[in-house]
Amino acid sequence: MAERFGEHSLKAVGVRIDAEHPEGFIFDPHQPQLRVTDLGSVRGDGIFETMLVLDGKLRKLQPHLDRLARSAEITEIGIPPEESWRAAIDRGLEEFKTRGGGGDNISVRLTATRGVDGEPASEDPRWAGTYWVLLTPVPEKVMANRLKPISVTLLDRGYDSKASERAPWLLLSAKTLSYAVNMAAYRWAAQHGFDDVIFYTSDGQVLEAPTSTVLLLTKTADGTPKLTTPTLKTGILPGTSQGSIFAAAERAGWELGYGPITPEDLKAADHLWLASSLRLVSPIERIDDTEFATDEDYTAQLLDFLKEDLASSYPQEG
């Protein structure tokens, strides 16, 4: 199989899923796959998930499949059944290893688009769109910066904290392909000397980072660590890494909390992190002009929590 891929593509594998290939078929991501009339390509009208193979094990597959299904429901995009995604991922991982891509630190991205405008791929809505899995090595930059302290700027997301509840057409809690604002926020941050962004609402509630979840650590009166994350009521994405960390933290006797969180709450926290599937956990050492102490032990503890990954379901807000 490897020889039909160009040398440059040695470490990227695509698996396309369609009604005729419910278990997926391999493609070369360096070759064109998508039509210019695909609604994913021309209107950002699709959904995705990104997960990680770490220490040789695919992490948090079920939570990511659950969140993909939730995004599909919100956006009314039909998607293949779970067993199809699972089979395609297995096929991709096998191919990735066969082709010398190694077995660790692989990014596994699932994408589903609404398909080609006016030409559904199937009459069955579960197969009407365009679906693929993309396996690539975790980018070198992400690898190099893992666990390193980062600086963050707070940016206004424009919405207020009630927008998600009153305006479901804003799709706030779906993970769609319409990520131009997230990318623009990253450019803004880089141009102003920051590594990352935390969004807040126009009425002053902390939301999320463009591709990560915010975690706060405070200590209770008796010294028990308490992890807090912003409330989902604002329409942020439920973080799968946050969920995994919370599950293990609960088993370890830590306290858990779910916002609302203000920028002042951030500044009052003992320690802060951003968590996401590829970056794992990044301790925050600065938010705008405010410095924060980082703590290697707690960072290592959160990483251990994340790696426990025992949970098939996570503690839920509320």
| Interacting residues with a copy of itself (CB under 8 A) | 12, 14, 29-46, 48, 75-76, 109, 111, 114, 118, 132, 134, 139, 155-160, 163, 166-172, 174, 176-185, 187-188, 202
CA neighbours closer than 13 Å in the CB half-sphere of residue 77: 29
CB-count exposure of residue 5 (10 Å: 0-12, 13-18, 19+): buried
- The β-bridge partners of 290 are 287
Rounded-to-integer distance, Cα 159 and Cα 149, Å:
29
Comparison of 49 and 309: residue with beta carbon closer to a copy of itself: 49
Comparison of 163 and 247: residue with beta carbon closer to a copy of itself: 163
Start-to-end CA distance of the chain, whole Å, equals 49
Rounded-to-integer distance, Cα 51 and Cα 240, Å:
9
Comparison of 116 and 266: residue with beta carbon closer to a copy of itself: 116
Comparison of 235 and 283: residue with beta carbon closer to a copy of itself: 235
Cβ 278 to a copy of itself shortest distance, Å: 13
At 211, is the secondary structure helix, strand, or coil?
Answer: coil
Comparison of 81 and 158: residue with beta carbon closer to a copy of itself: 158
Cβ 44 to a copy of itself shortest distance, Å: 3
Collect all residues with Cβ–Cβ distance below 8 Å to 232 and sequence separation of at least 6: 173, 238, 258, 317
Cβ 291 to a copy of itself shortest distance, Å: 24
Rounded-to-integer distance, Cα 70 and Cα 47, Å:
10
- Which one-letter amino acid corresponds to residue 110? L
Rounded-to-integer distance, Cα 134 and Cα 191, Å:
30
Cβ 82 to a copy of itself shortest distance, Å: 21
Cβ 264 to a copy of itself shortest distance, Å: 20
Cβ 37 to a copy of itself shortest distance, Å: 6
Comparison of 47 and 303: residue with beta carbon closer to a copy of itself: 47
Rounded-to-integer distance, Cα 120 and Cα 114, Å:
8
Cβ 41 to a copy of itself shortest distance, Å: 4
Comparison of 56 and 139: residue with beta carbon closer to a copy of itself: 139
> Which residue from 71, 64, 29 is spatially nearest to 47, judged by alpha carbons?
71
Comparison of 45 and 95: residue with beta carbon closer to a copy of itself: 45
Cβ 38 to a copy of itself shortest distance, Å: 7
CA Rg value for the chain: 20
Chain position carrying tokens 């946050």:
242
